[in-house]
Amino acid sequence: MLNILVTGANGQLGSDIEALSLGYEYNFFFTDKNTLDITDEIEIHKFIDLNKINAIINCAAYTAVDRAEEDEEHADKINHQAVKYLAQIAKDKDIKMVHISTDYVFDGKNYMPYIESEITNPDGVYGLTKLDGEKVMQKINPKDSIIIRTSWVYSSFGANFVKTMLRLGKERDELGVIFDQVGTPTYAKDLAQTILEILPQMDNEKVEIYHYSNEGVLSWYDFAKEIMRMAKLDCKINPIETKEYPTPASRPHYSLLNKSKIKSKFNISIPYWKDSLDECLKKMGERK
């Protein structure tokens, strides 16, 4: 029986794992920063020993991309140091571990979908701290453990682009949305289901990295247009360039991830982004 610690349980991915958990014969322990401080190594040890944890899904992350530029110490604690503690105890106690990372470890200057072995070059504190988390996990190298990089996550839970567009689409007649950043959204429920399905199959001596997002390619502009269309909101979406919407942290212009490795290794199929958006909007009662 798997006794699974899920960190960051109140976030989008953690919430979707919890929503799916009743369909699996695992024992889940859902924690957030108030119930388990993953930046405290001693506290992690106590929790894992007390609950006989033999699998970890680390969804916890400092994801405030812009705020991280001025809060590097806090971002590093969660995205790097906490991963170090979790990976070390996973190695010491022979615990499986799934760690969630991001497309921000790349600089977004590619012209082909990123494969896992591509050279990383983060352009900002968030991406740098997430990459440091990847590197320390690979260095410690807990057995039967993987890193999953994902992109543009949204969910029926939490705050995200889809919910923002729905809110603004009801409040305004028109919006400007960036068209020169390209990638693929990831419906957190799809990723959650994949993690739960592949967890018992993980059997590797070295930490493996996999990429996961939904299928297809689009810009934020295309994404917003489809949200408005599916929700039947009468809000005009205007394409704007990144330079017209300056932010403290830069965003990758190209975030497309190649998913061939995870599909081949675990024999999974990945839903098309429009189908997943449709499902999410229906779940939220926003599909018209």
Annotated active-site positions, please?
126
16 neighbors 189 (Cβ within 8 angstroms): yes
Q: How many CA atoms lie within 13 A of 281 on its CB side?
A: 25
Could you tell me whether strands 182-183 and 218-219 are parallel, antiparallel, or unpaired per DSSP bridges? antiparallel
> With the CA atoms of 190, 214, 226 and 153 taken in that order, what torsion angle do they form, in degrees rounded to the nearest 10?
70
Instruction: For residue 32, give Cα distances in angstroms to 7, 80, 82, 166, 190.
Output: 6, 17, 13, 27, 21
SS3 of 159-184: the string is CCHHHHHHHHHHHCCEEEEECCCEEC
Alpha-carbon distance 82 to 137, whole Å?
Answer: 10
Alpha-carbon distance 107 to 181, whole Å?
Answer: 12
Alpha-carbon distance 176 to 236, whole Å?
Answer: 9
